[in-house]
Amino acid sequence: MKKLFILRSAALAASLMTMSFASFATETTSWNFRTYNGNDYGTGTGTNSYGNTLNFSSSDTNLSVTAWADTNEISGPDTIETATAANNSYGLLNYNRNNDLHYVDNSTDTDMLLFSFDDFVNISEINIGYIGRYDNGSLAGSDISIAAFSDVPTLSGSTWKEVSEATNLLYSANFASLNEGTNNINVDSEIEARYWLIGAYNSNFGDTFNFQKDYLKIAGITTIAGTGPDPKPPTDVAEPSSLAVLASFGLFAVWRRRKTA
């Protein structure tokens, strides 16, 4: 009887291990884009120049950030050009070619940042480090736009409308009145992409709001690792998880055989 109890307990423990390893398989990464004591968390190439890249890394994947804005004033709709991606103690910002403000904003031109990951991710949260919009003298929440693409979107020379209608667009939405701090953005958990656009409110990418100028700095985002069509090779987590499954079935079989004997 005592042996049966031990075997049953061991089988239960193995099952719990399996559940635990399965929960660890979903990797969540919190990205921090602020500077700290003058030390930039990202490393830039072509720093302080149009078309530069800010690079960030975590234990799971790498990320590059580039800046874009519709600053090419020509007859007809403005087209998109590279801008300068930068960050300070409040987070990421966009210096576009019209040098309007050191925010990601839609004051004169619409600024957006392209986040390019090495692996497929879902974005679940955005941390707003600073908002510069005031209504009647009071600080107001900022509206943002977000879009996901199956491959690198064609931005240079396009209009934001053309980008929003591209065949590689997987998802887009506008979110109203985000506050400073962490905001859940409720992107469909099935949306996984390597390329994400995030910026000041852009009516081309979702619901139309009562337009007011938006100024924000992005302090961080939270990503959830996806699988995608080309996932990374299994990590070390997979092996003990498989062993736990086999162990639980084996112990259960022994327990059943002894119980019926």
Angular region, 156: left φ>0, alpha ψ -120 to 50, beta rest: beta
| Tally of CB atoms within 10 A around 155 | 21
Contact between 113 and 86 under an 8 Å Cβ cutoff? The reply is no
Picking from 114-118, 150-154, 182-186, which range would have the lowest pLDDT averaged per residue? 182-186
In a shared domain, residues 186 and 205: yes
Do residue 20 and residue 52 come from a single domain? no
Task: Judge if 182 and 228 occupy the same domain.
Answer: yes
Two structure tokens written together for 71: 């600053």
Going by DSSP bridges, is the β-strand pair 53-57/62-72 parallel, antiparallel, or unpaired? antiparallel
| Residue 172 and residue 61 share a domain | yes
What is the greatest pairwise CA distance in the chain? 88
Q: Which of left, alpha, beta for 86 (phi over 0: left; psi -120 to 50: alpha)? A: beta
Overall average pLDDT of the 249-260 stretch: 50
* Statement to judge: residues 260 and 145 lie in one domain: no
Q: pLDDT (tens digit, 9 = 90+) per residue, 36-67?
A: 655 666 666 656 789 999 999 988 899 999 99
Query: What's the rounded Cα separation, in Å, for the pair 196 and 56?
Result: 15
Q: Provide the domain count of the chain.
A: 2
In this structure, the answer to whether residues 13 and 84 fall within a common structural domain is no
Q: Is the model's pTM score more than 0.75?
A: yes
> Domain range for residue 15?
1-25+238-261
Domain co-membership, 138 together with 169: yes
Residues 209-229: pLDDT tens digits?
776 788 999 999 999 998 877
Same domain, residue pair 76 and 95: yes
In a shared domain, residues 75 and 200:
yes
| 149 and 231, same domain (yes or no) | yes
pLDDT band at 243 (very low <50, low <70, confident <90, very high): very low
Is 80 exceeded by the pLDDT of residue 139?
no
Higher pLDDT among residues 142 and 31, named by residue? 31
User: Using one digit for the tens of pLDDT, what is the confidence trace for 161-197?
Assistant: 999 999 999 999 999 888 899 999 888 888 999 999 9
Whether residues 189 and 246 fall in one domain: no
Q: How far apart are CA 261 and CA 248, in angstroms?
A: 20
